[in-house]
Amino acid sequence: MIKAIIVEDELPARKKLKKYIESYKESITIVEEFETVEEVLDFFETPTDIDLIFSDIELRDDNAFEAYKKVNIKTPIIFITAYNQFWMEAFETSGIEYLLKPYSFERFEKAVDKYLNLKNSMTIGSNENVLQKLDAYLTNQTIQTPKTYQEFIAVKSSQYTYFLKIDEVVYFQADYGIVVAYDVHNKKHILNQSSLKMLEELINPTVFFKINRSELLNRNYIEKISRYTKNIIAINLKNNETVLKTSQNKTAEFTKWLGM
């Protein structure tokens, strides 16, 4: 039996996670559920015998890393979040997996399987425990884990949060601190990020290119390009009347990125 806690401040996300936990092949007992960093800190003030933590990162009162760093936690953590930018920090703590919302049961199952495989593959001596060995594994894992890119981006409104598939974003546009995504249906989505730089950390640079100071373009939706001026390229988009233009200082880099 695996004894676990859930750290998640959104009720629908907790319900989904508990449904997956109930469906898992091994017995997982949820000892406690927390919604804030303060609650997590209070829980770890005294010694615990928790085996595993399922944790979101952005909580109601703060970032969950603040709690895990303060208590120097060694319990393995499966992070479950809508944001890809924290993956390196996750593996610098006791993170063994990083699930991006929305995630499937199969992806959840592989994450817990990984914990069990790590635990079962380690011979535990009289003066050693599995958490120490997991910590040694994670130190090495941090160095070897390759960069991954986000498949969905969370879009929050005043009433709910929905997930926009990044593959379906034709281009991102920034204007006076507001970042907007235009999808394949030419629908406009106002994002929580305040700059394109924040987005560039989340998305695959082989797919998206910053063609000027305010626009990031998905190469999969380029219909044709043409010379607009000597140093500027005009870009016609598929199924879209919008014509984007490179800035003069980006044109050469853009054509090289396209393999021209």
Q: Where are the domains of the chain?
A: 2-144, 166-257
As a 3-state breakdown, the chain gives helix, strand, coil percent values, each rounded to 5, of 30, 30, 40
Dihedral of the alpha carbons of 59, 23, 163, 88, in degrees to the nearest 10: 50
| Averaged pLDDT, 36-57 | 91
Q: Which of 172, 180, 182, 167 is nearest to 220 (CA)?
A: 167
| Averaged pLDDT, 22-46 | 93
Tens digits of residue pLDDT in 170-196: 999 998 889 999 999 999 999 988 888
Q: For position 79, what pLDDT does the model report?
A: 93
Q: For position 14, what pLDDT does the model report?
A: 93
| Averaged pLDDT, 120-134 | 50
Higher-pLDDT residue of 19 and 85 is 19
When pLDDT is cut at 50, 70 and 90, the band that residue 125 belongs to is very low
When pLDDT is cut at 50, 70 and 90, the band that residue 53 belongs to is very high
Q: For position 157, what pLDDT does the model report?
A: 78
Tens digits of residue pLDDT in 76-123: 999 998 877 777 777 777 888 899 888 899 999 999 998 988 887 654
When pLDDT is cut at 50, 70 and 90, the band that residue 228 belongs to is very high
Tens digits of residue pLDDT in 138-166: 555 544 445 677 888 888 877 888 899 99
166-257 CATH fold: OB fold (Dihydrolipoamide Acetyltransferase, E2P) (2.40.50)
Q: Which of 212, 208, 240 is nearest to 224 (CA)?
A: 240
CATH number of 2-144: 3.40.50.2300
What b/e readout covers 57-75, taking b as 16+ CB neighbours within 10 angstroms? bebeeeebbebbeeeebbb
Q: For position 132, what pLDDT does the model report?
A: 56
